[in-house]
Amino acid sequence: MEVLAFGVQTDEKPLMEAAFAGHHDLRCLDVFLTEDTAPLAAGYEAVSTSVNADLDARVLRALAAGGTRMIAQRSTGFNNIDLTAARQLGLTVARVSSYSPHSVAEFAWALAMAVNRRLVRAAIRTRDFDFRLDGLLGHDLHGRTAGVLGTGRIGEAFARIAHGFGMNLLGWDLAPNPACVALGMRYVEKEELFAASDVLSLHVPLVPETRHLVDAAALKAMKDDAILVNSSRGGLVDTDALVTELRAGRFTGVGLDVYEAEAGLFYLDKSLEPVTDDTLARLMTFPNVLVTSHQAYYTVDAVTEIIATTVRNITDYVAGRRSENVLVPPPGDLIAG
């Protein structure tokens, strides 16, 4: 099978080429899949896409018109894919349903620690040989409360690290995770989670029900000196409401690895272009905010696992098999499991 992969990062390319060798012919592109780049896939039955690909109905129609029949997304989230349109067009869609949760959980804690201990400001100062401590005062985490919004595999990994710090654990999810309960986590309503957490980390998927789950009311309910971390999906947070609270001088720190309008920005070099996103520009001005470019998953271990699963998804498609990774099966496919 010839596969065209969109949005392949420089570090990712050798890992992909090694994983695909002996299985499928692979061509890697560093451009992301959009309506403008979709014609590049003409003649390729299978394409692989990154998390920031734009897979709306128009893009899917362009892919289908060019002969594409299978889309293998290299991520867990699929809120960027119009699954209804894919089904109508007869496109098979698969994702990576899971990979090492430690990459994201560890990065979420890196963000929390960085804003708590003012590491970015400290590093910039010392580079200029300014060794003052003014403005660098942080908090001990031991004995404080970590709130985990979503206690699946990543949320559980985040909770285990918090437990190692000696923190109290609060959680919210549709159903308790027994492993988190065993760590001493107490499950509460969202309102209590927002109000009681010293560190609040988001680990739920972005679906219509969770969009702006952290809205103006939730942000106002949080402690003035709380730390908010989002390494899941940008749309979970009402960014305009967050800016309003930051302007009021609230929160010890905010660590954002995702942003609700990141498509067309993240993973690209925009350093020589004028800033057109006023909200993101405003976020960047707050000294207690750290924004990174959706890199929490980006470790050798996680990326290798993601790519290996992508290869299996394409191989399963060729063989007519269906796994739990399939979001839209081939037309007429009645195979279960």
Segment 52-73 shows an average pLDDT of 95
pLDDT tens-digit map of 177-193 = 999 999 999 999 999 99
pLDDT tens-digit map of 23-36 = 999 999 999 999 99
d(Cα 152, Cα 198) in Å, to the nearest integer? 20
Contacts of 318 (CB under 8 A, 6+ apart): 1
Q: Answer whether residue 79 shows pLDDT above 90.
A: no
Q: Answer whether residue 3 shows pLDDT above 70.
A: yes
Across the chain, the runs of DSSP E, i.e. the strands, are 2-5, 25-28, 46-49, 70-73, 92-94, 145-149, 168-172, 186-187, 199-202, 227-230, 253-256, 289-291, 326-328
Segment 135-158 shows an average pLDDT of 97
Confidence of residue 54 (pLDDT cuts 50, 70, 90): confident
Confidence of residue 264 (pLDDT cuts 50, 70, 90): confident
pLDDT given for residue 157 in this prediction: 98
Kindly report the average pLDDT of the chain as a whole number. 95
- Catalytic residue list contains 102: no
pLDDT tens-digit map of 276-323 = 999 999 999 999 999 999 999 999 999 999 999 999 999 999 999 999
* Start-to-end Cα distance in the chain: 23
Indicate which residue of 118, 153, 262, 322 is catalytic.
Answer: 262
Q: Give percent of the chain with pLDDT exceeding 70.
A: 99
pLDDT given for residue 263 in this prediction: 85
pLDDT given for residue 337 in this prediction: 39
Label the pairing between strands 227-230 and 199-202.
parallel
Q: Give percent of the chain with pLDDT exceeding 90.
A: 93
pLDDT given for residue 277 in this prediction: 94
pTM of the model: 0.91
Q: Are 7 and 32 in contact (CB under 8 A)?
A: yes
Number of helical H runs and strand E runs in the chain: 12, 13
Label the pairing between strands 253-256 and 46-49.
unpaired
Confidence of residue 336 (pLDDT cuts 50, 70, 90): very low
Indicate which residue of 118, 153, 250, 294 is catalytic.
Answer: 294
- Catalytic residue list contains 12: no
Q: Are 113 and 88 in contact (CB under 8 A)?
A: no
Q: What is the DSSP string of 182-204?
A: HTT-EE--HHHHHHH-SEEEE--
Instruction: Please say whether the dihedral angle defined by the alpha carbons of residues 76, 77, 82 and 87, taken in this order, is positive or negative.
Output: positive
What residues pair up with 25 in beta bridges, in sequence order?
2
Looking up tokens 């350093």 gives: 271
pLDDT given for residue 275 in this prediction: 87
Q: Answer whether residue 176 shows pLDDT above 80.
A: yes
Confidence of residue 69 (pLDDT cuts 50, 70, 90): very high
d(Cα 54, Cα 138) in Å, to the nearest integer? 40
> In the structure encoding, which two tokens stand for residue 47, read together?
């394409």
Instruction: For residue 107, give the 3-state DSSP assignment.
Output: helix
- Catalytic residue list contains 262: yes
pLDDT tens-digit map of 103-128 = 999 999 999 999 999 999 999 999 99
Instruction: Please say whether the dihedral angle defined by the alpha carbons of residues 77, 81, 83 and 87, taken in this order, is positive or negative.
Output: negative
Indicate which residue of 233, 250, 312, 322 is catalytic.
Answer: 233
d(Cα 183, Cα 179) in Å, to the nearest integer? 7
